[in-house]
Structure 1
Amino acid sequence: MSKQHKLSVLAELVNGSLDGDPDYSIGSLSSIARAGPGDLSFLDNPRLAAELDTTEAGCVIVSTEQETPDALNVIRVDQPVVAWAVTLELFHERKRIFETVSSAAFIGEGATTGEGVGVGPGAWIGDGASIGARTEIFPGATIGPGSSIGEDCIIYPGVHVYHDCSIANRVIVHSGAVIGADGYGFAQENTGAPAEPVVHRKIQQVGTVVIEDDVEIGANTTIDRAAL
């Protein structure tokens, strides 16, 4: 059985004002159209306000100025979608998968891992890299030599962080992202040769990538390193 939360507690959690029964209990979240008596829902789009008249939700998070049926429990807030995000964190708290460093992960020479770091099997952490406390590295991810990952980060499967990159704290990088690859750096060189008068000479990309705190990077994103 899911954990129950009283409306008085939920209203306080989202800094809202409750119109309704403070002792009414909520056990789950749902869309306003599908919600039942034990569900909390939210309304952020005024054009859908008619659904408030037909919903069976136990309570709905609405804006402070939204008109609502007298019989419906509502929590009024300034930003319903923000309050919804807060309640999602309460009802669907993320559970860690990797609590320790797997013996099937590769940890390079001089690499360091902080307290509570989890590294999945098949992950590769290069020489001299550092992983901050409570960060979770999923299988198949690679952290290049000399790169640093801060605290409380999540590096999902198949992420590739090249050498000497810096990722700060509470960063989430989704699967397939590549950080620190070379960008398009070529010089057109005139050769004077009739058969191939111009060739593209690669310009080495010797800069880095710096990701600051609280960034989320989507799947298959590429963030190239600086030229210098």
Structure 2
Amino acid sequence: MTVADPTGPDRILLVEDDRLQAAVVTDLLALHGYAVSTKQTLGEARAVIRDAPPDLLLLDRILPDGDGADLCRELKTEEATRELQIIILTARDRVEDRVEGLLGGADDYILKPFHPEELLARVHGCLRTLSLQRELKGKAEELAEKNQELVETQTRLVRAERLAAIGEIGLAIRHEINNPLGTILGHAELLLAQPETLAPEVQKKLAAISRASLRIRDVVKRLEVIKDDRAVEYLPGVSMTNLRPAEPEQGQGEKG
């Protein structure tokens, strides 16, 4: 599907099987700066719209291969052509026909014969609506991008604050824990250095105390230098910071 150049003239597809009527409308619109192409059947119109949707479709109802209102309903239900502006041109002047066309998705409905100024006004109105829709869509996309940037910035700030808090807590823990921890570890190592004075069961317990103390010291040390908020779910809805050393990537550190 070809994408239209938004900086070029508005592109209008006229589907009209009356060659004289088509020529009059084409000349009128071209005179006012519109790029107009014409087709005579619904099949030809479908092929053109599928390849390069116009900005506006001027659609006759009575065509050799069907009712233009059917194509209107079809286009308005498809995602790719839902925003296509459609004006139905017809000699059917019954209220029921106009209601049917509008309920089928037509953006406007013009009865034949029509005054040139009326056609130009209706065309201008539909294209103005299309322009506003595109502008609104662009603003919505821009707003979504800004919102995503805001969310990402907020996430970074929360992580930075969390890391700062962890660092402050780490300093406090180091001050309050390292001294008594050093005492526990020192006494355990002194006792383990004299195995002949200890029962085997006591030696095992002292060794366990020593290992646990070393682990606590390692955790406190990592708290001071943590650089990544590696939060993990501890309980449903409750997360905690993962203080375990990051596992090296597979193959990292292997010698070639």
Q: Same fold (TM over 0.5)?
A: no
TM-score (norm 2): 0.19
More helix by share: 2
Structure label with greater radius of gyration:
2
